[in-house]
């Protein structure tokens, strides 16, 4: 009987604590989103699986952030700094990434289909199993990048013939 009382007492404490932590994570995510959208800065922030399609984040600074699963489709990310960030499974379909910095980032399983990738810094970037067919890659820094695409074509500056 005493063990049942102890378990129930612990559960009475743990369940509200779980919901409090979930609320706290939600509050932090909302604050991070506000900082990113209003100030263009969200360094070392946590914003997983966020929908940012069509967002204008020109010159945004999101270094060392966790943005895994985030959808940046059709976004203007010109000059954005994603260095050191976790962008696994992120989507950059048709995004403008001119002069963006992904140095040291993890882009594994990301989708770069039809993205504008002019003068992008991909040095020391993990790009395993990316989808990039076709992507418009021009004058990019790929020094020490690890690249393997899901499609047969490698990143290029021309569309594949029909």
The predicted-structure confidence for 43-81, as pLDDT tens digits, reads as follows: 888 888 989 999 999 999 999 999 999 999 999 999 999
Counting other chains too, the contacts that 23-27 makes at CB distance below 8 Å and 24 or more residues apart are: none
Is residue 5 over pLDDT 70? no
pTM beyond 0.85, yes or no: no
Distance CA(2)–CA(99), nearest Å, equals: 65
Q: Which of 26-30, 42-46, 50-54, 81-85 has the highest mean pLDDT?
A: 81-85
C-alpha separations of 29 from 25, 53, 57 in Å: 6, 17, 17
Lowest mean pLDDT among 16-20, 98-102, 127-131: 16-20
The dihedral region occupied by 114, where left means phi > 0, alpha psi between -120 and 50, and beta the remainder, is left
Q: How far is CA 146 from the centre of its chain?
A: 17
pLDDT at 86: 98
Total residues found in the chain within this entry: 162
| Residue ranges of domains in the chain, CATH in brackets | 1-152 (2.160.20.80)
Of the candidates 22, 135, 121, 28, the residue with the CA atom closest to the CA atom of residue 79: 121
Asked if residue 106 lies in contact with residue 89, where contact means CB atoms within 8 angstroms, the answer is no
């Amino acid at each position: 009987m005493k063990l049942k009382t102890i378990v129930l007492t612990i559960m009475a404490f743990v369940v509200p604590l779980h919901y409090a932590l979930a609320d706290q994570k939600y509050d932090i995510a909302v604050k991070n989103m506000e900082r990113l959208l209003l100030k263009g800065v969200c360094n070392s922030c946590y914003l997983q699986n966020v929908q940012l399609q069509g967002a204008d984040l020109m010159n945004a600074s999101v270094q060392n952030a966790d943005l895994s699963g985030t959808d940046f489709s059709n976004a203007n990310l010109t000059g954005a700094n994603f260095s050191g960030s976790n962008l696994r499974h992120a989507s950059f379909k048709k995004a403008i990434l001119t002069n963006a910095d992904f140095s040291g980032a993890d882009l594994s399983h990301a989708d770069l289909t039809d993205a504008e990738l002019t003068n992008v810094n991909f040095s020391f970037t993990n790009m395993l199993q990316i989808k990039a067919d076709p992507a418009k890659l021009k004058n990019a820094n790929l020094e020490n990048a690890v690249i393997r695409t899901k499609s047969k074509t490698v990143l290029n500056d021309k569309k594949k013939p029909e």
